[in-house]
Amino acid sequence: MHYRKFTKLLLQWHQHENKREMPWKGEKDPYRVWLSEIILQQTRVEQGWAYYERFIKKYPSIQQLAKADDAEVFKLWEGLGYYTRCKNLLHTARFIVNEYNGKFPDSYEKITSLKGVGSYTASAIASFCFNLPYAVVDGNVLRILSRVFGIATPTDSAEGKKIFYELATKVLDTTNPGLFNQAIMDFGATVCKPVMPFCSTCSLNSICVAFKNAKVNALPVKEKVLKKKLRWFSYFIIEADDKILVRKRTGKDIWQNLFEFYLIETDANPLWNNESVTAFLNNQFNIRQFTIEKIRAAEPQHLTHQHIKGYFINVQLMNIPHILCSEENQWIELRFIKRLAFPGFINQNIQHKKMRPALF
C-alpha cells in the first residue's frame, strides 16, 4: 500500500497546485472554523461563503453570538435551511460562554460533546486549530481513498466506515494534520470530483488503482444508491479497431451478471453534449483522438422500485487505449455482441447497425 506516497503526493499538490480560496481557509480561531463547518454541513461552499462573512461581520466573537437575540440570528440564517443547525449554533455558543468562560474546548472529546458537532466537524476544529491528529472523513475523503486504493466496500456500510476511518488515519500527516486535512478536502472538491474528475492530470494517478483499471466512475460504492427511486445511467458505447467495449455487472445491484457498456451513474441529469463528452474523455482517460458519433437520451425504464433514465453516447476511437484494457473491460468483435445478455434498458435503446442482441 502506498500510504506514505499518497501523503507525500497530496501535500506536494497542496503546496504547488492548490488554488482553492475560501475565507476561513488557514483560520486558527476555533470559533470561526466551527462557524464555517456548521454552515457548510448541508450547504455548498458557494452559497455558504456569503453567510459566513455576514455572521463574522455581525458576530465577530463567540461571546457576541451567545448574547445575540434568537430572532436576529435566525433572520441572518434565513435561506440556508435545516434550521436545527442554527438552533445548535446558538445553544453551543451559549454553552461555551457559560461552561468554558467563552474559551473553545481544545480536546477532541470535549469538542465532540458539543451540540451539533459530529466527528467530521470535531476533527476539522481539532486539527486546524489545535494541531491534533484527527483525520476528517467526509464524502470527498471517502471518494479519494476508495478510488486511489481501489476499495469497493460500500462507504456507508458498517464495515466500510471502519475500513475508511482506519485508512484515513493511516495516511494522515500527524506532524501537520490541519494542513493535510485541508489538502484532502480541497483535492476532493477540485480534482477527484464525483463526476468528471481530472484524472489525466491528477497528481495521484500514478498510484490510483481506479485510474489504472478504468474504474473511477464505479467508485466509491454506496449501499443507499440501491434504494434510490430515480437513477441516471449514461452509457458510453466505445468502439475501436472493429471491437466494442463491454463489462459484466458483478455488484449486488440490479441486472447482476448481465453485460453493459461503460457506465457513469450520476445523481442528476448530466445533460451531455459534445463539449462535456470531450472533456470526459480527455480528463478521465487522456484520450484525444476520437469521434463522437451520437448522443441521445434514453427511453426510460420503470423497474419495481426504481426509475432508470439516462443517455447513450456512441464514440469511435482511433485505437484501443491501454487504460481501457483491464480485467473488467472486454473488447469483443461487433459480430459477437448478439451472444451477450444485456439489461432491457440497454436493449430497448440500442440503435447500432451491427448490434442486435436478443431482448432480455
Which of 170, 331, 160 minimizes the C-alpha distance to 261?
A: 331
d(CA 244, CA 261): 9
d(CA 46, CA 338) in angstroms, rounded, equals: 48
Is 27 designated active site? no
Query: CA-to-CA distance for 230 and 232, rounded, in angstroms?
Result: 7
Whole-Å CA distances, 163 to 118, 157, 169, 180, 252: 19, 10, 10, 19, 19
Angle at 326 between CA 320 and CA 331, to 5 degrees: 45
Q: Which residues pair with 290 in a beta bridge?
A: 317
Residue from 17, 21, 27, 37 carrying the catalytic annotation: 37
The answer to whether 357 touches 348, Cβ cutoff 8 Å, is no
263 DSSP β-pair partners: 235
Measure the CA–CA gap between 326 and 303, rounded to whole angstroms. Answer: 31
Give me the count of residues in the chain: 360
Q: Which residues of 299-325 are buried (b: 16+ CB within 10 A; e: fewer)?
A: eebeeeeeebbbbbbbbebeebbebbe
- Give catalytic residue positions: 37
